[in-house]
Structure 1
Amino acid sequence: MNPAGTDTTHDAGKTVDFFVSYAGVDQAWAEWIADTLERAGRRVLLEAWDFVPGSNWPALVQAGLTTAGRLLAVLTPAYLASVGAAAQWQAIWAADMGGRGRRLIPVQVEPCEPGTLGLLGSLTWIDLTDLAGPGAAAAARARLLDGIRAAVTGQVRSVNPTPLPTRDTRDTRDVPAAADESERAARYPGRPPLVWGLPPELVRNPRFVGRASELAELRARLTGFDRAVPGPGSPVPGVRAQVVHGLGGVGKTELVVEFAYRYSHAYDLVWWIRGDKMTEVVAGLAALAAQLGLAHVEGDEAAAAAAAEALRAGRPHRRWLLVVDNAVIGNAVMGNNAGATATNPYLSRLLQAAETAEFGHLVITSRNPDWAGRATATEVAVLPRRDTIDLLRRHRAALEDAEAERLAAAVGDLPLAAEQAGAWLAASGMTVSDYLAALRVETRELLTRGKPDRYPFIVAAAWNLALDEIGPDEPAVVELLQLAGFFGPEPIPLDLFPALVVLGETNGELGESNGEGTLWSALSAACSSPLRWGDVVARLRALGLGKVEQGTITLHRLVQAVLRDRVPTSRHLEFRATVGWLMIRALPTAIQGNPAAWPRWAALLPHLQAQIEAEPSPADANAAGMLGLGNLAALYLQETGQLAAAVDLHTWVLARTEQVVGTDHPNTLVLRNNLALALQKAGRISEAIGLYERILARASRILESDDPNLGISRNNLASAYWAAGRIAEAVELLEQVVDDAGRIRGPDHRDTLLARSNLANAYQTAGRLAEAIRLHEEVLVDVVRVLGQEHLTTFLVRNNLASSYQASGRTTEALDLYEQVLTGREGVLGDNHPDTLLSRSNLADAYQALGRLPEAIDLYERVLSDARGVLGADHPHILITWNNLACAVAAAGRLAEAIDLYERVLADQRRVLGPDHRDTLTSQGNLANAYRAAGRTNADAADGADPADGADAADGAGD
């Protein structure tokens, strides 16, 4: 309901008379209709008025459709194309199929093709499309109220009409017949602005895409105070100016141009001023003064002041929209370091006018986000991917999905860059692949191609203008931008850069002198002072070339490309070396079993990947350090369950390391082990075993017999044998590993403890349960003593002991241990870590063994739902869990469902693990048992399996 009335919020306890349904572009019409009805004493529900912070709009819509007496459909071509609008009017249509209640009332405000009306074409509507001239607003108001009155009463208006019926004791507030518009009534949208001041080149963009929510939100913020009329005699709160800020090329100007056209009918005056120079603001306001008839004022500055005062006073036009495009504040305007609140004095007058005017709206576009205390600033982000693809296809409709996706990603969803790319592809006939290749190596040159006709400059020029604003006395700002250009396009933690102070003290550890001191001398000097560092960051923020928030700076990938392109290619290696040096200093090396290190890795991993994608040369002095970071990054991915990415990165690091240090270097052997372990964890067991065997053969040849790496290689191969069901080979190797580890590493070393636990697992799988339990219990005591109760290794050993307890029938004891492990892993690793998911699955196994089938089934299903996104559908642990779920479902008597699950998991296990894998044979036996229980036989299902294998579904579920 309109806050201009006595009620300011929707009261769910009262029935709404009308629900106004409209497309977003027709908001001004919807507001005028709603305002007219509320002034006639009716209660109206309208999204633009009633969707406020904290409200549940879907619930409000449902309430409106349920309780409103009638739905008014604002009929336009846009409305007919709106899926959401169709759902609203169709709900009312279904409730009043014959139209006897006249609950659906179309109000046509724009001509529509008859063939597009569908069911709405069968209704009689109120037509407001043929009204023009000075009396159009009054005529439209009368026609609307007459039509509504006829729908409500079921009678055509009489010669002496009665007021529109009202409920309760509310007074009617019908507009006098002679009035065109009251002081506070919504402006009649059917007439254009009396004054239109957009430059001729800013015609409405036929290729404008998306931004519906941004446009609606901007309109809502501007009009929020217009409707907040507290009561008789109270002052009307002024509308604060709205600033639309963002990176050059992100579409700030296009957004506001579309806003001006879309909502032009809400204003008597629409005027556009360029704001990048004080003289432009003065000239624009002086031209407005002439348009307003302020001819008595002499001189541009006096005329500008008079125009600002006329806007403030609302004379001669109360409803106005003034746009200041590309406004600048702070030292870019004042010519000094006055700060972000120092502004052009004429811009200040406009801000004051917006603060006090009743219905005046000021919209400013700017690269600078720092308007605090002067206006409300809202950032314009890049387009959603679907809108970028839509924009590209408006230039080249035949783009295939994959091509469009790659191109949109390459331009970073930046609208102007997408416009240029689309225009150049259309004009040149260049293939997308060729364009992307050129964009990688000739970024700045390519970004000069394809300038759209309606844009005053290309995207690279927009950024160069900002870069050219940096004064010669600001070298630290230049250095920060240049260095940031060699990071990835994700947020860069600002706390990386103060380490440059150390680099400066070493007199240029990574780079040569630039002729004026060491590389990064200005930036490192700024970093040495928190105040100066703050000035540098604030200046970068004011330039609008990147986003500074929450201790990070983020640059668009194309801005980074332009920045890199401004650096001589011969110096790129120095810049990348500095980025690598900063990350080497910042990233913790203790990753495995250390979740506290993971957030830092999560923040910096994209930047490390950017360095990897740059293909560092083996000749790079920093190459070894970067490869070491690459290995740690792969281990981080492995630890956090990103297994496919871990395998890819391990593979890359191994290949580059072999180039640098050779194939037999100890580091190379370690990296091969890491790759094999990642393959094993990813479920690629056969590949892992083959690699482990080659590693052990090579290690035995080149390493000393007491080298710890030899024991690690044996342990890893034994683990893979065990996972593949080759138990005898695993036991033999592990017994040797335990002996060697105790002799070389000592009995309390983590590797020794893990080797003993692995041997106990192998004993259990080999059926030697008593030995397994004894060894697990001994290891747990030692692990708790050495590492503590909450260490990840302690969780692992406790879980393995629980598995042995369960296998021996001590299920209650196993359940207690599983619950301890799950609680610990959830607290340390989080809910979706692979180890946490495995603990949850093991707990479900214990529930099942104790006959708590509903709990087991529910937990298995939760694990499968969560784990598929983490591990992938073909991971061995996923397949084991499917098998165990089938066992629980069968135990619950749901045999048909269980058989279906068994058949699917068996097919997957044969494909992924092979027909002879232990897990495959277990599922095969379980399926045979289910067939027999259902009275069916299937020799193929039972072939090669002992039906008893199905009796212990949890065998393969331990860590």
Structure 2
Amino acid sequence: MAGGRNTASAVGWGPVTVSFAGYNRAWASWIASRLEKHGQQVVLQRWDITPDSSVEQGLRDLLLSEGRVLIVLSEWYFRLGPRSRQEWNSALREVVPPNSDRFAAVSVTSAALPTASAALGAADLWGLGAAEAERRLLARLGITPARSAAGTDTQGAGGGPRFPLEPPAVWGGVPRRNTRFTGREELIADLHQQLQLAEPGAAVATLHGLSGVGKTHIAAEYVYRFAPEYDVVWWVRAAERGTLREKLAALAPALRLTTGREYGERLRAVHDALRRGDPYFRWLIVLDGADRPDEIHDLVPAGPGHVLITSQNREWGEYNSALLEVPVYDRVESVAFIRRRAPRIDEADADKLAEALGDLALALDQNAGSLNDSAMPVDEYIELLRHGADVESGLKVAADFQMTYYTAFSILLNRLREDKPEAVDLLRLCVFFAPGPIPVRLLRDLPIRDMPEQLAGLIEDPLLWNSAIGKLAQWSVIQSDPQEVGTEEPPGSTEIVQMHRLVYQAVRSDMPDDEENVYSRVVRKILAAADPGRPGDTRLWPRYAEIVPHLSASGALDSTNPEIQGMVLNCLRYLYLSGEYLTGLRVAEIAGEYWPRLLEPGHPRLWDLVHHRTNLLRATGEYTTTEGIDRAAYETLLADRGAGDLLTLRAAANLASDLRNLGRYAETLELSETVRDAYVELLGDRDPVTLMAQNNLALIYRLLGRFQDALDLDLDTMEIRRELLRDRNNWTLSSENSYAHDLRLLGRYDQALSVQERNSEVHRTVLGPDNPQTLRAEHNLAQCYHRAGDRTRAANVLARLLERCERVRGDFDPLTLRVALTLSNFERQHGDLDRARDLSERVIGRYRDRLGDRHPYTAGALGGHGLILRASGERQQSQIEIEDALDGMTRAVGPDHYWTLGCALNAAAARNLAGDPEGAAELSRVTGDRAASGLGKHHPLTLSCRIALAADLRNLRRRQEADKIEEEGLDALAATLGPQHPQTVAARSRTRPHWDFEPFSS
């Protein structure tokens, strides 16, 4: 047993240690006073568990004290940590029963507690009067009341702690408790600790934040939770100095102070009584809505008690108050609150509503209340909000705050307009950026000559600028956050300002139309000036990331200005290259609604928009859709501009990409060669556009199994890009990845790995770990590790890679499916067969949905699934799927294609297992001959076919022929891959070779 004496005599004379959660200090103090009255020695110990300790250890540590341990049970006691109920139940069962004579408990809550807490045999004190609670307390500890102590305690102003269930002696102005109060636990705990730990006379804390964020309700909840710790609770509306003086003076009669009728005299008496703590030492004064600290700070009481202030104005920090910022709800709290306010709204709709309202408590309350009283679908209501519909008249206001959040923001804006008009000018500029962070540098980069007069002075004068920013931050209208400054950034250039989305709405609705046009035009110019003009340069991507969020809010997407339309196209190019496909599609779709009305038919920028949109769609796997769009564009341009026009050639290249992804390789090859040759003639063989066409031609060579042709083209492209661009340019890196891929497919595994290890590392550095191009490079690296025989590294890369693809790209992105299929193949051979099957079935289902049964990817994935079934012992179904894969692949790409040869290798093994050794041997022989002809006699797939043929001949008892073929195959494998390569070792041990399908990057 840990600590203490486990004897009756030790228990009888020892002190009592009262263990309590911080929220229950009032109960602990009252219990201590009752026990001390009856002659018991008491030690108060606040219960706490450090993150690195366990509940069990915490309970055992309580036993290190002498005598008994009395635990004050409440929901707060079990929330500390926080720890699960399972951990609590386990710890209580482990520690309490063997030490039952050391532990006792009282319960001071009606909430459900962990079941194992019953072992403590708690006396229930909740809902009782003081006398009965004391009797139960003493009975639980086996203490006989001392006669001398009976009736000697008056409990109150001078007689010790008040019984916690009795209300404070003085209580005034406190609003009713909000029965729908949700969350804010950490904030309330911080507030409680701030006030409790403050030095006497310095316990002043201010809850500050945007109007409607919930400051008043948090203060009220604090009052009700901790009322037992105070003898006086006095709540005052503090918006005006005169009202505050009057309400504080009204405390005099409640404190039974002898004063005259003049409230100035009463106010002085109240301040003096609070300062001295007479007649009550424990007091709490709440100053609600105290937004003018400069006018009322001298009225804040001082003394041993606590002052809690709620305010929009953070300037209270200048008047010796601790500041606690009240943020908007986090999303979990928002959803919980909405569902309590409007039970008809389900969790998904609550999440949507919270997003639309920016998690602002007052807006959630009023809009959810309105929705709960109507049958309108939440989606329809949100659309009304987004389009600025007037919903204010239908909002449900509360009795204690009888104005809508629209009105609250209007009052705030009027106050700002009076105090600092230039701050409102700055707000009006900011609302034509999107809600969220606005880099201040963007505002300051626009030449002053392009600014309207009221903004030019603000931007040009640093003192005026800082004053406006400071005023907005002071009133919690914006947050101004200086970011970390790099060595290349001047001071102040990385400052960020942001405001709540509902403030945006309030400011915009307050603006005349002519001013809206002025400010929005300025923001569009700011964004255009910020465009670096090189979306393909990865070093400039952070600049584009600053611009993109603001395209819609600024009106850039429906602008007629050619410069701004060019900026939008550059942003679309950036979004495609950086992998932000869904964001790019949203931008392209909005621009696509406006531009056909703004530009004449056939305008080049309309074709540019089509080009970027189909690139983005294709990247998400929408190949059928893009094929229809690109074919129409190509045919139209061909008729209007001719085959040699650059726009026509670009449309042809896009159409070739669609056909390639749809598995129509012969058509793709013809069109890709035509495009490449035309670009060479028009632009030369070293132009970036020509090199892109050459890259695409190499890709179709790879897909057709013409690996040496692909290698030659990729090597040429890579060398030219290294010369024209730089080694770390993203296009150079892409060519290098393709080159390593070609080497791997040709069986030159060690050389491929040497190239790809460096390539992947540079990709991560230049493009970041989650860029699609980086993910493709790491997939190639995993395959290189696997083919080179390093299974451990392959497994580590693949597992991390799939998790990242699913997180960044989604479960059904083409790249995610490609990685999932590779991992399925790997798990089948070296890991978890069940996981391999799950991954394989997911990929097959998606390929069938998107690409159809006749696509080579579907056939290849089906063949891999057949291998999994064979490994699982389901031989009959396995053979069916493997044969179907061979038939499907033959139809899709022909009998001599690399993929078809791989499917045939697997089918030969299936036939052998099915009792058809003749059919197996014939298929192995034909497949080996075709592989030797197309890939070369020493390609790993060709050698696998030879080893398989030897096995088939051995089954036919043609051992001499089998041994000869096997010996030749083993010698060739050892020479090509090395004697210790896993494929060589497996062949030497006569493990039948197989082939794994791999979709190629396109």
Determine if the TM-score, normalized by the shorter chain, exceeds 0.5: yes
AA partner of residue 780 (structure 1)? M
Corresponding residue for 1:375? 321
Partners of 1:923 and 1:848 lie apart in 2 by 19
Corresponding residue for 2:475? 543
Q: How does 1:371-410 map to 2 (within 5 A)?
A: 371-373=316-318, 374-410=320-356
| Residues 142 and 632 of structure 1, relative CA distance in 2, 3 Å threshold | farther
AA partner of residue 453 (structure 2)? S
Corresponding residue for 2:169? 194
Counterpart selection for 1:596 from 539, 543, 546: 539
Partners of 1:530 and 1:739 lie apart in 2 by 58
Corresponding residue for 1:522? 454
Using the size of structure 2 for normalisation, the TM-score is 0.77
Q: How does 1:870-881 map to 2 (within 5 A)?
A: 870-881=808-819
CA contact under 8 A between 1:322 and 1:363: conserved in structure 2? yes
Corresponding residue for 1:63? 57
Q: What SS does the aligned partner of 2:285 have?
A: strand
Partners of 1:36 and 1:842 lie apart in 2 by 74
Which is worse superposed, 803-812 or 890-899?
890-899
Shift of 1:178: 7.1
> Which structure shows the bigger proportion of residues in helix conformation?
2
Q: Which has the larger radius of gyration?
A: 2
Q: What SS does the aligned partner of 2:315 have?
A: coil
Corresponding residue for 1:170? none
Counterpart selection for 2:999 from 932, 948, 956: 956
Partners of 1:893 and 1:390 lie apart in 2 by 42
AA partner of residue 364 (structure 1)? I
AA partner of residue 468 (structure 2)? V
| Residues 691 and 62 of structure 1, relative CA distance in 2, 3 Å threshold | farther
Counterpart selection for 1:718 from 648, 656, 660: 656
| Residues 181 and 400 of structure 1, relative CA distance in 2, 3 Å threshold | closer
| Residues 919 and 444 of structure 1, relative CA distance in 2, 3 Å threshold | closer
Partners of 1:116 and 1:36 lie apart in 2 by 25
CA contact under 8 A between 2:840 and 2:865: conserved in structure 1? yes
Shift of 1:95: 2.5
AA partner of residue 157 (structure 1)? I
AA partner of residue 126 (structure 1)? A
Q: How does 1:79-158 map to 2 (within 5 A)?
A: 86-87=85-86, 90-95=89-94, 101=100, 105-109=104-108, 112=110, 124-129=121-126, 144=137, 146=138, 150=141, 156-157=142-143
CA contact under 8 A between 2:20 and 2:45: conserved in structure 1? no
Q: What SS does the aligned partner of 1:956 have?
A: coil
Corresponding residue for 2:938? none
Using the size of structure 1 for normalisation, the TM-score is 0.80
Q: Over aligned residue pairs, what C-alpha RMSD do you find?
A: 4.0
Partners of 1:598 and 1:177 lie apart in 2 by 77
Corresponding residue for 1:778? 716
Shift of 1:792: 0.7
AA partner of residue 591 (structure 2)? V
Corresponding residue for 1:366? 311
AA partner of residue 314 (structure 2)? P
CA contact under 8 A between 1:631 and 1:653: conserved in structure 2? no
| Residues 563 and 929 of structure 1, relative CA distance in 2, 3 Å threshold | closer
Q: How does 1:630-649 map to 2 (within 5 A)?
A: 630-649=568-587
Corresponding residue for 2:290? 327
AA partner of residue 491 (structure 1)? P
Corresponding residue for 2:951? none
CA contact under 8 A between 1:500 and 1:527: conserved in structure 2? no
AA partner of residue 512 (structure 2)? P
CA contact under 8 A between 1:844 and 1:856: conserved in structure 2? yes
Corresponding residue for 1:832? 770
1:209-257 CA-partner distances (Å, limit 9, x unpaired):
22222222211121124xxxxxxxxxx6654421100111111111111
Q: How does 1:418-497 map to 2 (within 5 A)?
A: 418-425=364-371, 432=378, 435-436=381-382, 438-440=384-386, 446=392, 449-471=395-417, 474-497=420-443
AA partner of residue 59 (structure 1)? S
1:762-783 CA-partner distances (Å, limit 9, x unpaired):
3333333333323322322221
AA partner of residue 521 (structure 1)? E
1:855 aligns with 2:793: yes
Corresponding residue for 1:29? 27
1:208 aligns with 2:181: yes
1:568 aligns with 2:539: no
AA partner of residue 902 (structure 2)? A
Shift of 1:469: 1.8
Counterpart selection for 2:233 from 258, 270, 274: 270
Q: What SS does the aligned partner of 1:362 have?
A: strand
Partners of 1:532 and 1:310 lie apart in 2 by 45
CA contact under 8 A between 1:498 and 1:524: conserved in structure 2? no
| Residues 552 and 298 of structure 1, relative CA distance in 2, 3 Å threshold | farther
Counterpart selection for 1:938 from 879, 898, 903: 879
Shift of 1:562: 2.1
CA contact under 8 A between 2:127 and 2:165: conserved in structure 1? no
Q: Which has the higher contact order (CA 8 A, sep 6+)?
A: 1
Shift of 1:290: 4.2
Partners of 1:182 and 1:143 lie apart in 2 by 25
| Residues 34 and 692 of structure 1, relative CA distance in 2, 3 Å threshold | farther
Counterpart selection for 2:220 from 245, 257, 260: 257
Q: What SS does the aligned partner of 1:328 have?
A: coil
Shift of 1:681: 1.3
Partners of 2:636 and 2:738 lie apart in 1 by 32
Shift of 1:78: 8.6
1:242 aligns with 2:205: yes
1:735-764 CA-partner distances (Å, limit 9, x unpaired):
333333333333332222232233233333
Partners of 1:262 and 1:74 lie apart in 2 by 16
Identity of aligned residues (%): 27
Partners of 1:727 and 1:795 lie apart in 2 by 25
| Residues 909 and 406 of structure 1, relative CA distance in 2, 3 Å threshold | closer
CA contact under 8 A between 1:673 and 1:695: conserved in structure 2? no
Corresponding residue for 1:228? none
CA contact under 8 A between 1:396 and 1:422: conserved in structure 2? yes
Figure out how many residues of one structure are paired with residues of the other and give that number.
862
AA partner of residue 64 (structure 1)? G
CA contact under 8 A between 2:852 and 2:858: conserved in structure 1? yes
Partners of 1:893 and 1:210 lie apart in 2 by 44
Shift of 1:415: 2.0
Partners of 1:293 and 1:898 lie apart in 2 by 80
Q: What SS does the aligned partner of 2:267 have?
A: helix
Corresponding residue for 2:299? 346
| Residues 198 and 883 of structure 1, relative CA distance in 2, 3 Å threshold | same
CA contact under 8 A between 1:447 and 1:460: conserved in structure 2? no
Shift of 1:712: 2.7
| Residues 818 and 285 of structure 1, relative CA distance in 2, 3 Å threshold | same
Q: What SS does the aligned partner of 1:683 have?
A: coil
Partners of 1:705 and 1:461 lie apart in 2 by 62
CA contact under 8 A between 1:20 and 1:34: conserved in structure 2? no
